[in-house]
Structure 1
């Protein structure tokens, strides 16, 4: 993830006081690519909510 200053940081699942902007920057590095997993999960959940009425 990237902090507010654009510096790369690592967070654990127990991290607190994390802003939504920092969470949104979450990605996995795969070679020269970045897989933006948080954005992809958000899209999957939005699809499930819309298509199947999923309530979270």
Structure 2
């Protein structure tokens, strides 16, 4: 399973600092650019397999 978010990685909940918009607070996630590349590679593999 892959998890994707706008920004790569994860962040801790810290009441002394502001959260980074678009970054997970639970699991480390792929960033948007990496997600696009993974999906493009998956699409290319599916097309090649179908011949």
TM-score (norm 2): 0.43
Q: Which has the larger Rg?
A: 2
